[in-house]
Amino acid sequence: MTTALLEALNKRRQRGETAFIPFVTLGDPTLEVTVEAVRRLVLAGADAVEIGVPYSDPLADGPTIQAASERALRGGFQLPDLFRLGPNLREVAGEVPLIAFTYANPVYRWGWEAFPRDLANSGYTGLIVPDLPMEEAGPLRDAADRSGVALVPLIAPTSHRRIRRICETARGFIYAVSSTGVTGVRQRLPEKLPRLIEDIRRYTDLPIGVGFGIGNPETAAAVAEWADAVIVGSALVRRLAAIAEDGREPQAVLDDLEVFARSLAAPLRGKEKRGDRRCE
């Protein structure tokens, strides 16, 4: 199934470049700041933007994003805000796809059919649910297909026996988890990451994005040698946290966010690639 998300990533891949997918937590520290942050990330070169949905039990997230979710929830975030704010985010993002990142419980409570339908109506084109196993994702994936929303699966280093089956049901792109554990900046990425990407390419033509642990331009450049997209979350969320934690002026923090995002996107453009980088 071709979606706006897949088309956007393939445009970058056709140029022999690597896409940049940043992540922000919705409502941290305010919904208004999130909208402006998305605008800045798009200006900095984002090819898609992940919108993290605050949740009280974010199993896949490390301390930085957990803290961001807690701040947003204390600030009054509620799940309807995800849909209500969609048109505002869509306006500042322009043609850049928006991907909702959430957990299975909020989706289940909203409704397997209703959640992707309401996402699409609000301007989102992708959905990631890290704690929803492939074996249980059928109803949501079917509903997402009907709504034109790409349900993006995660493949971890421990998924090697299930890679083919996951790829057969994937939409949009493959989210390759660089290492086991939760999100967060790491000092170095696993040496086996290129092998994981090669194993995934055996079973799919979809773009492969790599996330978890990427926190500086050097690491982004290293991942770009193999991946079709580089996903950065905690390093960006940590910068936005300075508004709430350090009392810095939002404008100054957003300026810093944009400069940092540009530094992450820059080495992904025109960089020589390794391996087979197929494109539909």
| CA terminus-to-terminus distance, the chain | 11
- Determine the longest span between alpha carbons in the chain, in angstroms: 49
Q: Is position 165 within any domain?
A: no
Q: Is position 203 within any domain?
A: no
How many domains is the chain partitioned into structurally?
Answer: 1
Q: Is position 234 within any domain?
A: yes
d(C-alpha 262, C-alpha 138), whole Å: 37
Write out the chain's pLDDT in tens, 280 residues. Answer: 678 899 999 999 999 999 999 999 999 999 999 999 999 999 999 999 999 999 998 787 889 999 999 999 999 999 999 999 999 999 999 999 999 999 999 999 999 999 999 999 999 999 999 999 989 999 999 999 999 999 999 998 888 789 999 999 999 999 999 865 445 454 556 678 899 999 999 999 999 999 988 999 999 999 999 999 999 999 999 999 999 999 999 999 999 999 999 999 999 986 555 555 554 4
Q: What's the length of the chain?
A: 280
Q: Is position 81 within any domain?
A: yes
Domain extent at residue 259: 4-151+216-268
Q: Is position 157 within any domain?
A: no
Q: Which residues are catalytic?
A: 50, 61
For the domain that residue 26 is a member of, what is the CATH number? 3.20.20.70
